[in-house]
Amino acid sequence: MSGISLFYFPASDGTVLLDNENRYRNRQYEDMEEGKLDMHLRKQSYWVLIALLSLALILSACSGSKNNGASNTAPSDEAEQSSNTTSASAFPRTIEAANGKIEIAKKPERVAVVHWGYADSILLFDLKSAALALPFTEKSSALHTDSYKPYVDKLGELVIVGENTTVNMEALLSYKPDLIIAGNAINAEITDQLEKIATTVVIDEAVTDIWSNWQALVTKFGDILGQEDVAKQYIDNYNANLQTAKEKLAKVEGTVAFIQVRNNAVWLGGTKYLTQYYGSGLGLKAPTDPAMEEGVELSLEGLSKLNPDHLFLGYFNYVDKSLPAMTDDWEKSAVWNSLNAVKNKQAYAINGELAMGYGPIGNSYGVQAVLEALE
């Protein structure tokens, strides 16, 4: 027996709920001849009714069982069809943007996102084709990680039109987008060119700031694409999972620090930016130091001064260990081995590009990684 495919949209834990309750009503039968039926017919009707009800219950159980075993990570085909149908009926629509009121005449089929900070957010949505500009090279990007795989796999086509924060205009032209999404700061120098290629929505980065509030950007993308329900569901699930993780980690003792480990530098993650882990996020306690708010480039001596009880090492070579990391030499020193977190085996390796990034997929990964390490 095959169950019902769920409408899926990835939450931070992928949870999907479906109300599949079947309600039955008692049916009353009236006698057609002076209120009496032959006893044989009554018995026959009774058992037929019981059989039908039993069959319905079996089918319902099979469906429910199938749904409960659904993947928490991979989008379902029915979900994409549902969202696509809804978004198609939502056009034309007019979007308030930094470059004016932009009319999107029909549901976009080929969407190019040329702000390199927006790649994470656009992948949440149900699109047949997408083109992205990336902060790093395609080879070293997070697109190849397990966290991104469900989102990348559900796309019919994914084209890279920029690397290392630079848009490749030739590749963009070749892609032939019917909608371009850009930022008014990051893409300021090429906005005029973009508008000549296709309908372009330029997002006001001061109003919708990806660096500090990815939820606002995801909501904006939902408005642009006619997929408001997708945006809301992801945000609601993320917030619910964040709260659950926060409750589980309430008894964690000691200070917690996050560092980005690159090939030639180590950066301290500031509480101002890593809000998913500190404050109203997971509520972890940061070391007491002025540098903790903004974050700074760290030396080994600077890290020793912070000396956190728990240390998350956000490696940028997490996927490709053949690449160097600044801490490779540090780990050989007595100073490193005297750190509280190292001595007490409370130093944890995580994917720094994801966990210390600013987008929804990276934040979801980070919250889960921290929960697994500290719980």
What pLDDT shows up at residue 334?
Answer: 97
Average pLDDT of every residue of the chain: 83
Domains within the chain, CATH numbers bracketed = 17-69 (no CATH), 81-232 (3.40.50.1980), 249-374 (3.40.50.1980)
What is the pLDDT averaged over residues 129-148? 91
What pLDDT shows up at residue 87?
Answer: 58
What pLDDT shows up at residue 335?
Answer: 98
How far is residue 237's CA from residue 231's CA, in Å, rounded to a whole number?
10
- DSSP symbols for 299-317: -HHHHHHH--SEEEEEETT
User: Of 245 and 50, which is predicted with more confidence?
Assistant: 245
Query: Is 41's pLDDT higher than 80?
Result: no
Question: For residue 86, what pLDDT band results from cuts at 50, 70 and 90?
Answer: low
Lowest mean pLDDT among 19-33, 37-51, 83-97, 264-278: 19-33
What pLDDT shows up at residue 81?
Answer: 52
Question: For residue 344, what pLDDT band results from cuts at 50, 70 and 90?
Answer: very high
Count CB neighbours of 265 within 10 A.
Answer: 12
What is the pLDDT averaged over residues 137-149? 89
291-312 pLDDT tens trace: 999 999 999 999 999 999 999 9
How far is residue 99's CA from residue 118's CA, in Å, rounded to a whole number?
18
Q: Can you list the alpha helix ranges (DSSP code H) found in 21-126?
A: 39-68, 77-88, 119-122
Question: For residue 54, what pLDDT band results from cuts at 50, 70 and 90?
Answer: very low
Compute the C-alpha angle 245/246/248, nearest 5°: 65
Q: Residue 14 contacts by C-beta under 8 Å, 6 or more apart in sequence?
A: 71, 72, 73
Residue 124 has φ and ψ, to the nearest 5°, of: -70, -25
185-210 pLDDT tens trace: 999 999 999 999 999 999 999 999 99
Residue 223 has φ and ψ, to the nearest 5°, of: -65, -45
Question: For residue 320, what pLDDT band results from cuts at 50, 70 and 90?
Answer: confident
What pLDDT shows up at residue 88?
Answer: 67
How far is residue 298's CA from residue 327's CA, in Å, rounded to a whole number?
11
Tell me the CB-side half-sphere exposure of residue 17, using CA atoms within 13 A: 6
